[in-house]
Amino acid sequence: MQIVVCIKQVPDTAEVKIDRKTNTLIREGVPSIINPFDLHAVEEALLLRERCGGAVTALSMGPPQVEAALREALSLGVDQAVLLSDRAFAGADTLATSYTLAAGIRKIGAFDLILCGKQAIDGDTAQVGPEIAEWLDVPHLTYVSGIDEMILAEPARITVSRLVEGGYEQVRSSLPSLLTVVRELNEPRLPSFRASLRARTQAITVWGAADLDVDPERLGIDGSPTGVSRVFVPEYDRQGQIFAGGPEDQARALVDLLRSTRLI
């Protein structure tokens, strides 16, 4: 089976701090990583390939340095990597990003399954996966926590569990289809020595706008309906009461107060 995994290179947002004087993000020295949810998508693609045969293509969009993320995917064992990189793609919101990725997937060729992480940790939108599915006119299933059944004989279909409020929904989709996956799905592997060696010299395909069958007006910032109007650090100032004394005194003051105000 042919599987495409979409990955995003993201700053490790857990390492991002705010400069409280200028109210801006301190990005310097923040390492770039593969979006953690996408690693679960890569892992599932590799597991499915081991079970069903076929090939896995890792796909990303971004500036040239995203090659590092794709090389990491190669070192995990994906068969080939494609980077969509062009100044025309810059400033894309989820609609323009999904449009461009969908065009990249069309160019890669026939596919049975597209896997994405449920969302990226820098944007947290969870929109690009379903939007890709719409552009490609395939069904999509989000928040997939388990693949229960996969049948490649016609009619090809996949049955999954979705993590939804209060439990798990069992859903079946025809193939080809797009899934976005959550952490519970699997435990991502570490790079293998052999694959890492091979990944070092493996070629990464790079396509620009001219290589894709795209409407230039749908790319990048021009193709993005949404824009950021302003960015700010919220100001909180509740001017609360700080209790004095050691642990025992403070605890007593709090318990007394919560009791007298009937909060407990």
Rg (CA), the chain: 23
> For another protein, which is the closer residue by CB, 2 or 125?
125
Structure tokens at 34: 């593969």
Report the distance separating Cα 246 and Cα 26, nearest Å: 36
> For another protein, which is the closer residue by CB, 107 or 218?
218
The one-letter code for the residue type at 98 is: S
> For another protein, which is the closer residue by CB, 50 or 124?
124
Report the distance separating Cα 7 and Cα 116, nearest Å: 7
| Contact call for residues 97 and 61 (beta carbons, < 8 A) | yes
Beta bridge partners of 10: 33
Report the distance separating Cα 68 and Cα 144, nearest Å: 27
Q: How many CB atoms lie within 10 A of CB 133?
A: 23
Strands 24-26 and 17-19: antiparallel
> For another protein, which is the closer residue by CB, 20 or 193?
20
Least Cβ distance, residue 166 to another protein (angstroms): 6
Look up tokens 């009791």; give the residue: 259
Beta bridge partners of 192: none
Look up tokens 């770039």; give the residue: 32
Least Cβ distance, residue 68 to another protein (angstroms): 20
> For another protein, which is the closer residue by CB, 50 or 148?
148
> For another protein, which is the closer residue by CB, 159 or 196?
159
Least Cβ distance, residue 60 to another protein (angstroms): 19
Least Cβ distance, residue 165 to another protein (angstroms): 6
Strands 55-61 and 177-181: unpaired
Least Cβ distance, residue 200 to another protein (angstroms): 31
Least Cβ distance, residue 147 to another protein (angstroms): 14
